Chain A
Amino acid sequence: MIVPIFTLRFNHKIFAGLTTVGLYDGKHPCLTCATTAGKILVHNPHARFNEGGRISAGTESDVHLLNIGQQITALTAGALNSNVNKDFLVAGTQTSILAYDVDQNADLFYKDVADGVNVAVVGQLGQIDCPIAVVGGNCSIQGFDYEGNDLFWTVTGDNVRAMALCDFTRDNEQELIVGSDDYDIRVFKKDELVSEMTETEAVTCLCPMSGSKFGYSLANGTVGVYDKTTRYWRIKSKNQVVSIFNYDLDGDGVVELITGWSNGKVDARNDRTGEVMFKDNFPSSIAGIIKADYRMDGQQELICCSINGEVRGYLPMEQSGGTTAPTTEKDVFRELSLKKQNLLTELKNYEKNVKAHKLPVGLEKSEIDGTPVGLIPANTQLLVTLDVSPGDANIQPHIVLHISTSNDTILRAIIIFAEGIFKGESHVVHPSPQNVSNKLDVRIFPQKDGVVDLHIKALVGYKSSVQFHTFEMTRQIPRFTLYIVAPDDTPEPKSSVVFHITERINRVVMWINQNFLLQKEIEAEDELNVKLICLRENTPLFVNMEPNQNGKITIKTDNMDLAGDIIQGLTTFLGIEDLQVTADFPDYLGYLRSVLEKVDEYHSTSEKLTAEMADHSNLIRSLIVRAEDARIMGDMLNMKRGYMELNTVNRDLISQYSIRCNNHTELLSNLKIVNQTIQKAGRLRVGKSKTQVIAACRAAIKSNNISSLFKIIKAGSS
């Protein structure tokens, strides 16, 4: 336990993940949190603000409220203008971004962001010379300078959830790390994608640590640390991670990863091992963690806020006077004793086992020294094979795991722990007592392609056993599993990607054999011709390679994602750093055209609705004035009529609001498709060509040049 050096309490709810601290006058730190009713709470114990405008004094002393008027979805603060030595507040909503000069009580800039703002960071990015506010939204990332100029734009595979600036490549320039809903962590150096790590759930938080290390957390309660692309450690808890932060709590010069949990726990973990070093508990969920010199004495405190407005500040251990040495010594002793005890138990188990060898084989129940034991033949083995099944009308295509024992022992249950392919983290097969046997089939339905490790635990014994042997083994399923060799009459897909590589055909064949779960390994000598069917969507996939024609590879599939996956996987395997392709996806581009048309439609509807709303608000004003006049005159009849009308208008407004909401969600989902298409087009290329394609697509969309967009997707440039 660590002891806080100060505590505060705001009588406001604080939204999880929306806390920050800023030196708005350049000197005094102010804790800033998003609270209910579209307001931002600014705690300012050191100086006064000018009230008026957006700022109003709160009910408590030192607390001011900043009115945004819309639900706040992202909040951060930072020195956005390098000419002025003070921080600016950046608040994001579902449709806009506001940069605010709290000190002057004035807007710095306000911009509409169609993709919404899920997360925002402020800082230097790569070689862009001025600090920018980077906002992540619906598949897109945008960067603004202090005047609101759009300096940076790129796309990711899904909604952006978390961002952090970190010197990932250790070149003294900051890279942008982005975590999104598609389980991926992507690292951008300016707008070039330098690394991509796939996790097992949506990424919820990211924070820079020392050097190239950064912390991350997932929606399933995992928290961990990466150094570049290597994961140092991770742990999983049943609670949700709300916020992660870096702070050197033990004063050894290396920052720890501080995690705030949904159950109110705060813990500090060693950045290399993940070992818990300190913890504290709040009565309610944590809302945010920051650090600041809040007492103005030259020391940075770690500050944690809970959603109920409780704030605690901590100092590094040695400074706050807490000593941990005696407890650790005791703990070491206890831990060692425990280890000794466990070893002794294990030894005892082996000793009993030796005694068991004297017992005859085939007994279902036996006793040694009066305690019952579970007996099985010592040479029992567990056999596991993987297979692909096309399924039938009732069952989706799936992978079958055939598990069996090598003798008459039965499999009571199978527990498989794996990440990302089951609803939870485990899958259990427990046959009814009359159906147990020495064979079990486990069906697995992977929802997307990817490498998965299956940790299998099989309980082996006899029918009436109460005690089972647990067999443990790990099997890996390759990246592309639900594919089988297509029959000869399979029609050829309309779409294709064509590119040239200078590699031997064997290497490509090797890659395919490693990454596809095929019953028979494919072979090829002078020409590679593989025809597969993806069982999940029942679509064909043809891969063709002609070494004679400059190593021309043709991938034929209607699934743009799949083509991208294959190209990315193959080029990584072959070490290709730059690749331009010719992509022809007629169906998909047709679909994109219709989406773009819809986007236009929704835009115009939205404008029309806004105009109508303005009309209504005028009407309301006049109705209220009329009704109130009537009331003052004592004309109750007219007052009543006036308010009745007002009620009708109000009802209209509400129904219009829901229309607007629907319109907006539709617009967003369509915009997402557009962004994702650009991302997919990028994934068909590698290296520089990829960055170029994304930039060119963006330019085409900005200038509303659809035909040029299509050309870029096809050829890589206009």
Chain B
Amino acid sequence: MEIELTRSEYIQVGVTSPKTTKILPMAKEKHGQKVVVADHEGAVTCFQMKRGDASIVFKTLPGPKITRLELGGPLGNVQDRIFVSCGPEIRGYNKKGKQFLNFDTNLTESIQTMAVYGSDLFLCGNYIYNHYRDCKDFNYYLSTDRINDTICVPSEQIDDVIPILACQDRVLRVIRDSDLRYQVDISGSPTCTCLMDPKGEILYGTSDGLFGVVHIGPTEPLHRWELPNDDNLGGVLCMESYDLFDDGKNEILVGRDDGLLQIYGYDETGDPEIKCKSTFSESITSVAGGRVANVNVNEAVVSTYAGWITGISVAQNHQGANGDYMKSATSEENQMKVDLLKSEIEELQVRIARERENYQYMASTDNRVSAVPQFSINDKFVLNGDDASYHLTLEVQMPIDNVLLQSDVPVDLLDLDKNSAVVSFSDVDIENGNHLLATYRCQANTTRLELKIRSIEGQYGTLQAYITPRCQPKSCQVRQYDVKPLSLHQRISALDESRPFNVLQLSGQFSLAEIHSWINFCLPDMPERASGDSVNMAFRSTFLDTQLECRYKKGEGIFRSDNLSTIAILKDVMTKEATKKKINLNISHDINDDSIAHALNIIHPKMEQQLSLAKRVQIIDALKELEVSEGGTTCLSESYREILANAEQLREEFKKQPSRLERLSGMITDLYLDTYKFKGQSVKNKVPALLELLNHYNLDSLIDFFTN
């Protein structure tokens, strides 16, 4: 049985960025700890819980949006100074709200992430890392891909402090001064890091939902463990190591972008295991541990995207608490609170009615403009490696009214069971470039919408989402997402050299930036800029497991893949892009005939598995009927009994991968067409025969068909 958690909501602030909520150290034994939170409106709010009520300690004036909030202080002293990053500035406040620091870095980029240690500030923009000591520029490093988070491993010796950058290209970059000390490869793009132990144990979480621990030594890393994301949970946005259960051991608190908060402990063997969880309706941006509501109870403070600050603690502790701080508010007090709110709302409604009238009046006069302000949308469009589809997540601070999805490239929109929104597909209208037109009408109070999109490699374009929230005056915002030609590819660290590769070679009068932009156009997961003289990157197709390597520099590009279709798509798109820029390309290719059979062999087990799964699912009902009429399963053979026993899992598995078989057949057909295209033959007329062959799938006859 899982441990039950109690939730209590404290306050609501504006929209929050990840890692912007912290708990100040315990000041007096009498009161709970104070919580500080910074939001997109630029305000830093500090509050304390008194008798179940949140009382504001201080709140700064609004300003530019705050991206990070960290605590610091002179080494050896209480770490109760508050540092926030907004735009290119760092501001510092003491625990009373007095500003003691206003440091303008003069960086051109705004600061995205920050780590503070003593008088050292480690600040990162999208690509640049800057180290300031006493507000003086000290070190500098340029990362090859976007920096998602920054952290430092403390040390007694100030010069031994190790800053770490979590970068989009699936590495943790460990910095020494202005250089790379070493880098740690991990299996996903790290989105957040957290110090677990001052000796250098680092927790990291990735955008595809897994997390692990790595030890950062002075010269080399040591991987401790990593938990895979088998249940397809959301990406990790924030983590904290805190003793929530008050058992002397720190638990790991993980906040995800699908609103799930998980608490992991350790089993007898020391392996991490899930202890309990709590679900929120919005993504969790920060989690921090402390004693806020009650000085005797450990709790986790969670902030969500729309700015709700909630306390979470283990249920039993509340009953055992004997302090008089957390007396749960009586119903009278609650009633008072509700009444107060109601009167506030009434007052607001009167004001709004007036404003609405004003607005209407404005609409009838000439020479005026009407403006709809931008509401913030938290969106994510990422490839899910497991089922080779894209997950689109939209989150708005206000309830969503409806979302219109439009795509100028053929994609399949798959509905997710957990959505309550009603989806409706409109007729496609190819003439106007609409291959997908669908509306989602959301139920009341839906602030998050998740969708799955299945793309076809080789067909590329843009997917647009028009989001209309439920708020007056009604407005709508459009978001665009690129569906790239090789949309199902994912970055990997290195190529498996044992495979037979087809090679495509390009040369011509192009710069590194130009070829980089073409490749960026073709493949996801690419850094925006190319760094260095030459680039070498490897990719894996999440659907077929074939690989691709891109090596390019000024005037030359070499691409190797064991899947000929991948090469064909690259060739087509690059030629098109180069022609647009009026650049002449010399193209040569070296087709490895072994690669065809190799690719078919890679597809084979997938086909086989799908076919047998489909077959088994098909006969489940018939077998069930036999079971009923024969009064048992004894009359059936072993394999049939097994199907009956696992009927539910089989159905589940089958449901998870709709039309996977069709997709595989499509890939084989493409491969066939591409193979002969490179040989200069058109084999379109043979496609029906191929499809016929695929209906009675057999690997050997398929390979024969390809070679003849």
Contacts and interface: CB of A to CB of B under 8 A. Distances in A.
Interface stretch (A135-143, A179-187, A367-375, A591-599): A367-375
Interface in B342-381: 342, 344-345, 348-349, 351-352, 355-356, 358-359, 362-375
Contacts of B351: 347
B475 A377 contact: no
Interface of B: 9, 12, 64, 306, 331, 334, 337-338, 341-342, 344-345, 348-349, 351-352, 355-356, 358-359, 362-375, 397-399, 402, 404, 406, 408, 415, 417, 419-427, 429, 431-434, 437-439, 441, 445, 466, 468, 470-478, 621, 624-625, 628-629, 631-632, 648
Contacts of B445: 338
A465 B365 CA distance: 23
Interface of A: 12-13, 35-37, 39, 58-59, 65, 221, 236-238, 263, 308, 329-330, 332-334, 336-350, 352-357, 359-361, 363, 366, 368, 370-380, 412-413, 415, 417, 422-432, 435, 457, 459, 465-472
Given A329-B338, A427-B426, 4 more contacts: A348-B373, A370-B64, A415-B439, A432-B432
A65 B331 CA distance: 54
Nearest to B464: A430
Contacts of A344: 348
11 contacts: A337-B12, A343-B345, A343-B349, A348-B373, A349-B473, A375-B369, A377-B367, A423-B427, A432-B433, A467-B374, A469-B370
Nearest to B439: A426
Contact of A374 (B345, B367, B372): B372
A472 B337 CA distance: 36
A238 B421 contact: yes
Nearest to A356: B371
A223 B363 CA distance: 39
Contacts of A236: 422
Given A353-B359, A430-B432, A340 B370 contact: no
A457 B468 contact: yes
A341 B621 CA distance: 52
Most buried by A among B427, B439, B628, B631: B628
Given A36-B625, A333-B334, A425-B424, A470 B468 contact: yes
B417 A263 contact: yes
Contacts of A468: 372, 466, 475-478
Nearest to B341: A336
Among all A-B residue pairs, the 5 with the closest Cβ atoms? A424-B424, A356-B371, A470-B474, A378-B368, A350-B355
Nearest to B369: A375
Contacts of A361: 367-369
B628 A417 contact: no
Nearest to A460: B476
Nearest to B362: A378
B67 to A, nearest CB: 14
A430 B434 contact: yes
Contacts, number: 233
Contacts of A329: 331, 334, 338
A379 B398 contact: no
Contact of A426 (B338, B359, B441): B441
B287 to A, nearest CB: 20
A467 B477 contact: yes
A60 to B, nearest CB: 11
B371 A373 contact: yes
Contacts of B432: 430-432, 435
B341 A340 contact: yes
A415 B425 CA distance: 11
Contacts of B419: 238
B371 A366 contact: yes
Contact of A368 (B345, B373, B427): B373
Contacts of B398: 342, 345
Contact of B352 (A336, A347, A422, A428): A347
B345 A339 contact: yes
A338 B349 CA distance: 14
Contacts of B429: 429-430
B12 A415 contact: no
Contacts of A221: 422
A430 B428 CA distance: 10
A353 B477 contact: no
Interface of B is mostly: mixed
A471 B624 CA distance: 55
Given A329-B331, A424-B424, A459 B373 contact: no
Contacts of B345: 336, 339-340, 343
A451 B528 CA distance: 54
B344 A340 contact: yes
Most buried by A among B373, B399, B429: B373
A12 B628 contact: yes
A372 B374 contact: yes
B473 to A, nearest CB: 6
Given A357-B362, A378-B370, A36 B624 contact: yes
Contact of B625 (A37, A339, A465): A37
A377 B368 contact: yes
Contacts of A337: 9, 12, 341
Given A13-B624, A413-B404, A467 B426 contact: no
B651 to A, nearest CB: 9
Contacts of B477: 466-468
Contacts of B468: 457, 470
A352 B371 CA distance: 7
Given A357-B369, A379-B363, A469 B415 contact: no
B437 A425 contact: no
B424 A378 contact: no
Contacts of A425: 422, 424, 439, 441
Contacts of B369: 356-357, 359-361, 363, 375-378
A36 B372 contact: no
B368 A350 contact: no
B546 to A, nearest CB: 35
Contacts of B431: 432
Nearest to A429: B429
A472 B474 contact: yes
B509 to A, nearest CB: 32
B466 A375 contact: no
A237 B420 contact: yes
Given A343-B345, A469-B473, A426 B373 contact: no
B437 A430 contact: yes
Given A59-B631, A347-B351, A375 B370 contact: yes
A176 to B, nearest CB: 32
Contacts of A432: 408, 431-434
Given A329-B331, A341-B12, A413-B466, A349 B372 contact: yes
A45 to B, nearest CB: 20
Contact of A342 (B367, B370, B374, B399): B399
A507 B396 CA distance: 53
Contacts of B364: 379
A378 B356 CA distance: 13
Contacts of A423: 424-427
Contacts of A340: 341, 344-345, 348
Most buried by A among B331, B398, B466: B466
A650 to B, nearest CB: 17
A428 B338 CA distance: 42
Most buried by A among B369, B399, B472, B631: B369
Nearest to A220: B422
Nearest to A222: B422
Contacts of B466: 412-413, 459, 468
A37 B373 contact: no
A27 B515 CA distance: 83
A39 B422 contact: no
Nearest to A336: B341
A373 B476 contact: no
Nearest to A377: B369
A292 B216 CA distance: 65
A345 B469 CA distance: 11
